[in-house]
Amino acid sequence: MDLHELDEIRLEANDNSRIYKERTKAFHDKKIKHKDLKAGDKVLLFNSRLRLFPGKLKSRWSGPFKIKDILPYGAVTLLDSNAKEFTVNGQRVKRYMANESTEEEPPLRLDDPAPV
């Protein structure tokens, strides 16, 4: 084998590796759900330690908490009911939607058809 052939094989392997990494990153980024959170919103906090002592009907979400500030790189500063603040990873929170109204369709009646 010639040195030029080895260089060509190495360059082709580098290109294939770069293409693979780009495709993997694009697939990963497509699956990420971006959260539109802002200061003043109410959120629930995921309790990841609950799995150590699982309760069958125990919820892993606690709260609601109020967002005080959104820090760079996804960190969120929360306020609890006692005005105590703490910072958590933004991936551990989700919007609290208790007071938001949703439009419901009128109920569908399931009566027997009229006899002919």
pLDDT digits (tens, 9 = 90+) for 17-51: 999 999 999 999 888 777 888 899 999 999 877 56
Q: Residue 103: inside a domain, yes or no?
A: no
Give me the number of domains the chain comprises.
2
Residue 87 belongs to what domain range? 42-95
CATH number, residue 75: 2.30.30.140
Q: Alpha-carbon torsion 18, 31, 61, 88, what sign?
A: positive
Q: Residue 108: inside a domain, yes or no?
A: no
8 and 46 in a single domain? The answer is no
24 and 48 in a single domain? The answer is no
Q: Residue 4: inside a domain, yes or no?
A: yes
Q: Confidence band (pLDDT; 50, 70, 90) for 103?
A: low
Query: 48-61: per-residue pLDDT in tens?
Result: 775 656 666 777 88
Q: Give Cβ neighbours of residue 62 (< 8 Å, ≥ 6 apart).
A: 44, 45, 47
d(CA 10, CA 54): 52
Q: Alpha-carbon torsion 8, 10, 16, 21, what sign?
A: negative
Helix (H, G, I), strand (E, B) or coil at 115: coil
> What's the pLDDT at 105?
67
Is a pLDDT exceeding 80 seen at residue 111?
no
d(CA 93, CA 45): 5
Query: 57-96: per-residue pLDDT in tens?
Result: 777 888 899 999 999 888 999 998 888 999 999 889 999 9
Q: Residue 63: inside a domain, yes or no?
A: yes
